[in-house]
Amino acid sequence: MSNLTISVDDQLIKQARIRAIEQGTSVSARVREFLVSYVQGAQVSSPQLAAGQAFIAAARSSTANIDGAAWRRDDAYDRAYPGAADVGAAPR
């Protein structure tokens, strides 16, 4: 196995070591995992990225606005809130 020397900010290394300890691993192991996925061409994914991509896909396939209705900002204020006593009156 080869050694690799890289230059990284001291504060970044400190934070990486703390996080690695919290996860029960080491910075070297995490760098090794990254390099393996990098070499194999795999994209490093996160739950947030996956959720964002799923949301965009759902929005693009939605038929909720098939009539092409356009909304203005004021439209949000020109309607009663659900459960309001006077359903016809807009809140002020």
The token duo for 13 is: 């290394």
87: pLDDT strictly greater than 70? no
The string of pLDDT tens digits covering residues 15-67 is 999 999 999 999 999 999 888 878 877 665 678 878 888 898 888 888 887 77
Give the pLDDT confidence score for residue 14 in this predicted structure.
95
90: pLDDT strictly greater than 80? no
Q: What are the residue ranges spanned by the domains of the chain?
A: 1-60
3-class DSSP state of 68: coil
Average pLDDT on 80-86 reads 66
Give the pLDDT confidence score for residue 23 in this predicted structure.
92
Contact 88, 80 (CB under 8 A): yes
DSSP secondary structure of 25-58: S-HHHHHHHHHHHHHTTPPP--HHHHHHHHHHHH
